[in-house]
Amino acid sequence: MYSTDLAEVYEAVYRSRGKDWAAEAEAVADLARGHAPDADSLLDVACGTAAHLGPFSKLFTTAEGLEIAAPMRELALRRRPGLTIHEGDMRDFRLGRTYSVVTCMFCAIGYLGTVEEMRAAIASMGRHLEPGGVLVVEPWWFPEQFSEGFVAADLAREGNRTVARISHSTLWGRATRMEVRFLVGEPGGIRTFTEIDVLTLFTREEYESAFRDAGCSVEYRPGDPTGRGLFVGVKEGGR
């Protein structure tokens, strides 16, 4: 998962779709402050290349990340020096402090393989929220939204690099199995690589149960930022 090859082209591919991480970060910050107006600290779980964390760092007094994949973490720190990104697994991490807001964006939660793992991750996030703090999780698709054989294609051109991406999705048990092939053209030549992504199709009810058992209220907001909506919860104990 998340090889060095992918880390290098990841943001460019999604920018070619019109993805605006800064706008998404601002919208999430506004959403969180609608529940916790004084929120001043944030943890972005599975922060990847820090595409959201960079903008979050300008919106909160303290903004830190958690990332398990070394290529993503290393690239994030190289591109955005000065950020604090902890090495850790979302299923069980302990940073020794709490935050006003904890986020897990862009469907990263879907990479967990079982309901038990997802619940463990939500519980870990909940442990890192201060009372009255806000948890925001962007899910992968629900099972009823899966489309067998779906093909997506992207072409990104930035500077002297062109990236073509094509993916094909099939149902694999309770998960989406995406075979993703990349073609990368640069002055030194053309290279290819393939990624296999497996994202679990958790149900809305499974997410909601995990939030409640982590001591958080839960609201599902369909739609933005990527069509899959957001789960938003508030930790018990606030005013």
Domains and CATH numbers, the chain: 4-142+202-234 (3.40.50.150), 144-200 (2.20.130.10)
37-65 per-position pLDDT tens digit: 999 999 999 999 999 999 999 999 999 99
178-193 per-position pLDDT tens digit: 999 999 999 999 999 9
pLDDT (0 to 100) of residue 1:
60
157-172 per-position pLDDT tens digit: 999 999 999 999 999 9
Beta carbons of 185 and 158 less than 8 angstroms apart: no
